[in-house]
Amino acid sequence: MRTLTDAWAWLTDSAHWAGDDGIGHRLLQHLVLTVVCLVISCLIALPVALVLGHLGKGGALAVNISNAGRAVPAFAVLVLLLLTPIGSWGEGPSVVALVLFAVPPLLTNAYVGMREVDRSIVQAARGMGMTGRQMLFHVELPLSLPMVLTGVRIAAVQLVATATIAALAGGGGLGRIITAGFNLASTPMVVAGAILVAVFALIVEGVFELAERLAPVRLRGSR
């Protein structure tokens, strides 16, 4: 309990919110890093997954890439990137590593969603004379949207977690408060940073959960 009150005192001290190492700036860094990387990852993964799903090709790759992604430690990738020339680009290693870890869940979920669209509906669309493009955008994509969005949510949570680990390899974001706390041997600071990160991650998860609930009925998954 003592540590929690100390951590609370640390969090509510206005001096800790200001400046480049302050909570405000770290929070902004974390948010920007997460959002930017989520957008980049979606731009990379979703078109590939939708086309592969539409053509019904590359399924083994799309599904197994998630399992492979789980076996590779984010921390190792971050440090490896840091020691390559990318390491001199400031946030370069963080951005590349974050995108690498967000792409697999996006790819897998969008691909599976596309393939789970009822085949008879797709055949009906083809029978009506729809072109491939029309089928993709007017039939398959709308029907697979719940799965696609589940992938986006998983990717977003993954991004928040990886962005935290990025601090271990010198990246910015809320994780820096934790690493700084360890370096200063200040348990209240470590715990305060951890609470911020945990709350941030839960809010991200909560926002997606809420969006799913508020979405029109036809967008909701069977979950």
Look up residue 88 and give its DSSP letter: G
Q: What's the min distance (Å) between Cβ of 132 and other proteins? A: 35
- Cα–Cα distance measured from residue 103 to residue 100, given in angstroms and rounded to the nearest whole number: 6
Provide CB contacts within 8 A for 112, sequence distance 6+.
62, 63, 147
Is 31 an interacting residue with respect to other proteins (CB under 8 A)? Answer: no
Binders of other proteins among 58-97, rule CB under 8 A?
A: 67, 70-77, 79-80, 82-83
Candidates 8-16, 43-51, 53-61, 177-185: pick the segment binding other proteins (CB under 8 A): 177-185
Question: In angstroms, rounded to a whole number, what is the distance separating the alpha carbons of residues 206 and 112?
Answer: 24
CB nearer other proteins, residue 1 or residue 15: 1
Does 202 contact other proteins by CB under 8 A?
Answer: yes
CA 92 – CA 88 distance, rounded (Å): 8
CB 109 within 8 A of CB 147: yes
Residues engaged in binding other proteins (CB under 8 A)? 3-4, 67, 70-77, 79-80, 82-83, 157, 160-162, 164-165, 167-169, 175, 178-179, 181-182, 187, 190-191, 193-195, 197-198, 201-202, 205
